[in-house]
Amino acid sequence: MEKEIFIERYRKLGWKFSEPNVKKAIRVNTLKISKKVLQKRLASKGIKTSNIDFVKDGLFIEESKFSIGSSVEYLLGYCYIQEAASQAAAELLNPKENDVVLDCCAAPGGKATHLSQLMKNKGMVIALDKKSQRLIALKNNIERMGCKNIVVYNIDALDVASLGIKFDKILLDAPCSGNFTLESNWFEKRDLEGIRGNAGNQKKLLKACLDVLKPKGVLVYSTCSLEPEENEENMKWAVKSLNMKLISQKRFWPSEKNKGFFTAKLVRK
C-alpha cells in the first residue's frame, strides 16, 4: 500500500502527516526514588530533563551527552526508558494496592513494572508473554526496577483462562502493526490486509481477557498503531460483541512529545 494512502487515512481522521523528531522520555521509578531527587542527580551529570505534562512520573530528556541507559541511575533501577504516551496506559488503568492485575503481553516489562510501581509493590501483577526469549528482558527489568509483586508466566494471553485467576483489572497492550515512527520503511512493509489480520488477533485477545475479568472489572486496551481497525473499530466491536462499556478512548498522534499511541478504557458490565 502506498504511503500516500495511509497519509490520506490519517488526514481523514483529523491529523496532518509529519515526521516529528520525538523527544526521548523516561519514567521515574518512584518505588526507589522521587522525581525531584532523580532530576537533581541527572542534572549533576549533565542530563537536563523536563516534566511530561500528561503523565505523572514521566520526564523528557532535553539534553544529554550520553545515553541514559549507560548511567548508574538507570542500572540502579531509578528509571525506565519509556516513550511518553506509552506511560499513559498503566496510569489510565489506575491499579490499587490490593488489586490482582493482568498484563497480557508483558515483555520487556515497561508497563508491568509501571503497574507494580503504581501499586506500591503490593497486590499482585500477573505478567504473561508467550515468547520465552523475551522473558529474559522482562525478568531483568523487574529485577532492576525492584518490583516484588509480579508473577511471570510463559503463556499465550489467549490461554490466560487456564490459570484459573479472575482479575480486578487488565492491561492489554496488544501486539499491533506499530507505526512509521517506530520502524524504518514502515509504509513499505504494511498493507491493509496485514492490519486487518492484526485487528482480528486483537479481538481474540480482547475476548480472552473478558473471560477472566471480574464483573465491573476495568480493562485498558492500548496499541502503538495509528490504524482505526486496530483501535476505535476494535473498541466498537468490544462494546457490541463483548457487551463491554467504553469509558474513554484517546489517540496520541505522533508529535515532538510522543511516537503515536492509542488507549481505551472499558468496563465489564
Given 79, 147, 209, 224, which residue is catalytic? 224
How far apart CA 28 and CA 54 sit, in angstroms, is 14
Taking the complex as a whole, how short is the minimal distance between the CB of residue 136 and other proteins, in angstroms?
A: 5
Taking the complex as a whole, how short is the minimal distance between the CB of residue 233 and other proteins, in angstroms?
A: 34
| CB of 112 or CB of 244, closer to other proteins | 112
Taking the complex as a whole, how short is the minimal distance between the CB of residue 68 and other proteins, in angstroms?
A: 12
Strand partners, 13: none
CA atoms within 13 A on the CB side of 190: 24
For helices 135-144 and 110-118, give the axis angle rounded to 10 degrees: 30
- How buried is residue 114: exposed, middle or buried, by Cβ count under 10 Å (0-12/13-18/19+)? buried
- Enumerate binding residues for other proteins (CB under 8 A): 69-70, 72, 75-76, 124, 126, 133, 135-140, 142-144, 146, 148-155, 162-165
| CB of 14 or CB of 164, closer to other proteins | 164
How far apart CA 126 and CA 143 sit, in angstroms, is 15
CB 128 within 8 A of CB 212: no
In the annotation, is 224 catalytic? yes
| CB of 85 or CB of 118, closer to other proteins | 118
Extract the C-alpha cell encoding 97: 494496592
What is the CB neighbour count within 10 angstroms for residue 131? 11
| CB of 20 or CB of 146, closer to other proteins | 146
First to last CA, the chain: 39
For helices 192-212 and 232-241, give the axis angle rounded to 10 degrees: 40
Taking the complex as a whole, how short is the minimal distance between the CB of residue 92 and other proteins, in angstroms?
A: 25
Taking the complex as a whole, how short is the minimal distance between the CB of residue 41 and other proteins, in angstroms?
A: 8
Amino acid found at 21? N
How far apart CA 158 and CA 199 sit, in angstroms, is 14
CB 87 within 8 A of CB 52: yes
Amino acid found at 233? E
Taking the complex as a whole, how short is the minimal distance between the CB of residue 27 and other proteins, in angstroms?
A: 16
| CB of 139 or CB of 250, closer to other proteins | 139
| CB of 9 or CB of 134, closer to other proteins | 134
What is the CB neighbour count within 10 angstroms for residue 192? 14
Active-site residue numbers?
Answer: 224
